[in-house]
Structure 1
């Protein structure tokens, strides 16, 4: 089999930038672009971004971002992280970002155009690099805006000692070191997720490119614990004002909600946390927009939505402007109104829990609407289905990071025999969801492990079904009856009159998640699969939604 690999190297340095090779403490030099604001040169606040996706490339369009910041008086500094594109050093995930961030901050504050005050901004991995720098406690870092990210970003799911559950392994977990962090360039290639063992295809890739990935080898077959924060946890470092942007449809949101839970346990950090809860996916497509979006090089139409909250935040915490910023701003998807709603806490103080109970085991394995989703528990019954990794439930989108670019109608998946379906009665008036959603259940399997995927959908009067929230867990040795809690994340979503909630349950979502082979073997090493019989006790299953009182969220 011939493997096709497309290699993308660094783009041209923008004419508005000057590149410097900034020396780190071990002598490695990192390529760093400086974009000055217009007008006479004088010391001022700086916005720093450290990223692995090419500081000059089209994917992250940093010259356009820099132009937005510099037009508002900020110097913008953008750096290729160690081992990527124009920077020197070993290409290795996570482990060098803390002290490289500290040394870059040190370099900035010693430049004539810096007044010693720095903010950091960026998405995903360049949100992680902000947390890494914060963990060092550098005095110059005065504010940061980590978007769609998390301190545990990309962390491989491993059960804690004594625990029987953990997160399901995403395909991107091991693929990311084979594409973004293999070497200096970006490598595009495709794994055939139906051809086993998956690890054999990785060896074919190494042979094709003539080198191995150090990050992959550290994680395969079993992960070495990487010291992401050698200076200590960022939450034990001095607190920095932080604006956390979390997307309702961001597939990486669980890591950021984990950070939020850690922050609220730390009083100093809790006093400095601000939340921007936006109806977006990881690639910043918006639920409310259908125009060319932020990554379209031909359009800057979405840049204000993308960058204005950061500008406002930096104006207050880097420049000292006297302006009150709400602690929580959030969008209510499906309301037709993208306006920000403000609260002092999340979820809103007036919200309350509303429980739904699935019923109708036999109907649940049939076509939609399947079983029911009721406000009272039903009779004791067990619903069963078969998980077959050779024929898994297909992921509804081709690119999970850009979910809203497709925003698919998922009604067809309800017709599969390996998907349980439970549909509530249509609502007669708007039902506003605002906060966490969770599923508690008692499950079982005849296999050595079991994945449980839960999806909450909005079913329109025409029968179309679109995702509101989702969650998944791997259960080790589930046996006959194992209690499990599935976190479906948070949402701000309006269920409009005539629409209904639908809960679907399954044991696969491939290829976004690597399916359990049914044998108990390592998912990347398994050469064969065995179907497993799964079951769930409906009377002991509860879907809990956080809702607002009637009329609480304005139209």
Structure 2
């Protein structure tokens, strides 16, 4: 039954250290002669509670109409809640306090579930860390399980575009709370113009001046895994937690690796129900069209109804049929349908790289074959930092998704290897990787690997990619693995599979200057930007920030002004693509 919903109320709680946290409360309106009790659904977020993640979820009033008390809370230092916002630092204690408070609300059954994506997904894991008794189930969506490798960095390379945009967004809320209208206008305009505005200005000028305490500056300095990241990562606190969880992700979401690994860990060790649902979505929204492709009506988000079924089962004890369903639900792109699996597919096939040495010049010269070929002719290409290979779609750029990329593949700084037209449909599902044997003439270089479908009409659409920052001896061939995003796609008969290799994917990832690790370079002052800012820039080569203690003022500026031209040679006969397939 659908309940009428009372007008929204603002309610407050007090943290253990005496701060007020505010929330919006949505209550079902039961019959006057029956004071009915309801479970509580809690979301904790940093973007202003009125939004309530409606960019991907139904409005909280819809959830309340299904028979739940819904609480949307501003975390510490955000919205109208008291305190100073310190990214993720207080979410364990504040989250536990919020769960216990929500369980004691009038007409609450005392049982709490949580939902939300991105930061709101992370707050669920932090709240569960101390195992509050009232918390019965979670629905974490699009989370960074290991904050370093699932959020800030990928393969050792900083996820530049999305993290810069997010930092500007958070900084805007900080100055809004401080009442600094001029700073808010500047940051708001910067956020609205990214990624087309000058990102050097956004990072080394505007963000440093207006948000000197932003987490972004720490994230740039801490460029290696270590204690800093362990203290912030949910992975460090979840080992003793066991709750039924509905894990939600998107094939083009920047945090898919975190969702994927967390589900695999919980499915392996948990005694309770774990389900995984991954749609063809970017971080937001969760609709049928992602990037340049429309995946049909089936791709429209089923998550709201599914979450109600989940909460009905684990907070109300109904809908037992849920337990009989296969736990892994993956959207298969190409066929544009949902597929269910008892477990994540693991059967793998291998493609080998074959080339005449001209894979950078002619799309016909690089081949992917199921049998290794006796070709020792390597491919050599040159990365010019002044004209880096641009990012287009995928999971690490904005906008994300699948886009037609044939023009990029025609560049001479991109190697391409393609199969012959497929004789039968190829169903890929699960984990993918590329192993390249290569050498470069600098001590540091990047490798970007992208898999695409070459359709019969000649159009080319990416469907998964990965990135790796390499530290190696110059001109010494070595083997490097690039982990790609998991995926699920059917490549139709007559189409072809293509692998594209480059040394940049900018601005999705920060450019690699090609310098030895830990080598700082003093650069001349930049020209004043639109905000009138001018300052010298300290360039820092890869792996230098965390280990040497040097600070960096604008890695993009260092990349462009100090970066080396890099020559990379790939030995195709010693390289391969490993794909998981679904029966």
The question of a shared fold, defined as TM-score above 0.5 by the shorter chain, is answered with: yes
Q: So what's the TM-score if we normalise by structure 1?
A: 0.84
- Report deviation, 1:263: 2.8
User: What are the residue-to-residue correspondences of 1:134-283 with 2, within 5 Å?
Assistant: 134-153=128-147, 166-181=156-171, 183-184=173-174, 185=176, 187-188=187-188, 189=190, 198=200, 201-206=202-207, 209=210, 211-222=211-222, 225=228, 228=231, 233-265=236-268, 267-268=269-270, 271-283=272-284
Aligned to 2:532: none
Check whether the contact 2:10–2:23 (CA below 8 A) recurs between aligned residues: yes
- Is 1:46 paired with 2:48? no
Aligned to 1:475: 470
For 2:413 and 2:448, the matched residues in 1 are separated by 11
- Is 1:312 paired with 2:314? no
- The 1:382–1:217 alpha-carbon spacing in structure 2 relative to 1, beyond 3 Å, is same
Structure 2: 5+ residue stretches without partners: 177-183, 517-539, 542-554
Aligned to 2:544: none
Check whether the contact 2:251–2:487 (CA below 8 A) recurs between aligned residues: yes
- The 1:263–1:63 alpha-carbon spacing in structure 2 relative to 1, beyond 3 Å, is closer
For 1:230 and 1:423, the matched residues in 2 are separated by 39
- The one of 87, 90, 101 aligned to 1:96: 90
Aligned to 1:129: 123
- Report deviation, 1:545: 1.0
Check whether the contact 1:55–1:62 (CA below 8 A) recurs between aligned residues: no
User: What are the residue-to-residue correspondences of 1:377-396 with 2, within 5 Å?
Assistant: 377-378=372-373, 379-396=375-392
Aligned to 1:20: 11
- Report deviation, 1:276: 0.8
- The 1:194–1:144 alpha-carbon spacing in structure 2 relative to 1, beyond 3 Å, is closer
- The one of 339, 342, 348 aligned to 2:340: 342
Structure 1: 5+ residue stretches without partners: 1-13, 160-164, 294-300, 550-555
Check whether the contact 1:442–1:483 (CA below 8 A) recurs between aligned residues: yes
For 2:377 and 2:68, the matched residues in 1 are separated by 62
For 1:446 and 1:196, the matched residues in 2 are separated by 30
For 1:206 and 1:376, the matched residues in 2 are separated by 51
Aligned to 2:525: none
Aligned to 2:534: none
Check whether the contact 1:70–1:76 (CA below 8 A) recurs between aligned residues: yes
- The 1:99–1:444 alpha-carbon spacing in structure 2 relative to 1, beyond 3 Å, is same
For 1:305 and 1:80, the matched residues in 2 are separated by 26
For 2:152 and 2:57, the matched residues in 1 are separated by 36
Aligned to 1:409: 404
- The 1:54–1:369 alpha-carbon spacing in structure 2 relative to 1, beyond 3 Å, is farther
- RMSD across aligned positions (CA): 3.2
Aligned to 2:509: 513
Check whether the contact 1:373–1:424 (CA below 8 A) recurs between aligned residues: yes
- Report deviation, 1:63: 9.5
Aligned to 1:531: 565
For 1:232 and 1:498, the matched residues in 2 are separated by 43
Aligned length, in residue pairs: 513
For 2:284 and 2:384, the matched residues in 1 are separated by 31
For 2:36 and 2:301, the matched residues in 1 are separated by 26
Aligned to 1:8: none
For 2:376 and 2:158, the matched residues in 1 are separated by 29
- The 1:302–1:438 alpha-carbon spacing in structure 2 relative to 1, beyond 3 Å, is closer
For 2:431 and 2:134, the matched residues in 1 are separated by 35
